[in-house]
């Protein structure tokens, strides 16, 4: 485990915004495993437990998580599907492959700004002459590490056409 500047343990690697901000990319069968998180008015209740369970499956298969990419799909006020990128087949996990044109933008700040970020994201997509087909959020850093790093980068990634 690494340490942040204040020598406290960290679990999330520092996020490099330049790799993801205002980027378009094509995925062809990008491999993920999928699980569900319970939410209360969109606030995750068991995210840590679910991601730990998923990571144990990945580590048990000697796999890895490219870019530490974990997409969240808020399906309702009460549920969120999470998609963890993997580099190989993971036994006993629900596999999903994503394909298509995707566009990403990085935002930073408190989660209460999510609505503002989404409006800005939609404006940027429309300005590019595209339309959103599927929304995902990538919470790049857990709350403890966000506090230690002094920032909370969130990436909106959508399949666009």
CATH no. for residue 115? Answer: 3.20.80.10
Task: Report how far residue 107's alpha carbon sits from residue 31's, in angstroms, rounded to the nearest whole number.
Answer: 25
Q: Helix or strand or coil: residue 44?
A: strand
Tally the domains of the chain. Answer: 1
Give the C-alpha distances (Å, rounded to integers) separating 159 from 3, 98, 102, 112, 126.
35, 9, 4, 24, 13
The per-residue pLDDT string of the chain (161 residues; one tens digit each, 9 = 90 and over) reads 444 445 566 688 889 999 999 999 999 999 999 999 999 998 899 998 999 999 999 999 999 999 999 999 999 999 999 999 999 999 999 999 999 999 999 999 888 899 999 999 999 999 999 999 999 999 998 888 888 888 989 999 999 99
146 part of a folded domain? yes
What's the pTM value of the predicted model, to 2 decimals?
0.90
Domain for residue 13, yes or no?
no
**Domain extent for 143:** 22-160
């Amino acid at each position: 485990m690494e340490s942040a500047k204040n020598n406290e343990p960290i679990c999330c690697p520092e996020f490099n915004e330049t790799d993801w901000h205002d980027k378009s990319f094509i995925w062809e069968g990008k491999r993920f495993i999928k699980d569900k998180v319970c939410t209360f008015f969109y606030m995750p209740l068991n995210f840590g437990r679910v991601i730990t369970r998923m990571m144990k499956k990945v580590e048990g298969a000697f796999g890895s998580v490219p870019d530490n990419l974990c997409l969240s799909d808020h399906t309702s006020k009460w549920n969120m599907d999470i998609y963890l990128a993997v580099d190989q087949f993971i036994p006993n996990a629900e596999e999903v492959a994503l394909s298509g044109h995707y566009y990403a933008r990085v935002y930073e700040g408190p989660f209460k700004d999510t609505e503002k970020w989404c409006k800005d994201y939609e404006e940027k997509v429309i300005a590019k002459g595209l339309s959103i087909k599927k929304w995902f959020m990538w919470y790049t850093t857990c709350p403890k590490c966000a506090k230690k790093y002094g920032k909370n980068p969130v990436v909106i990634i959508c399949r666009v056409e």
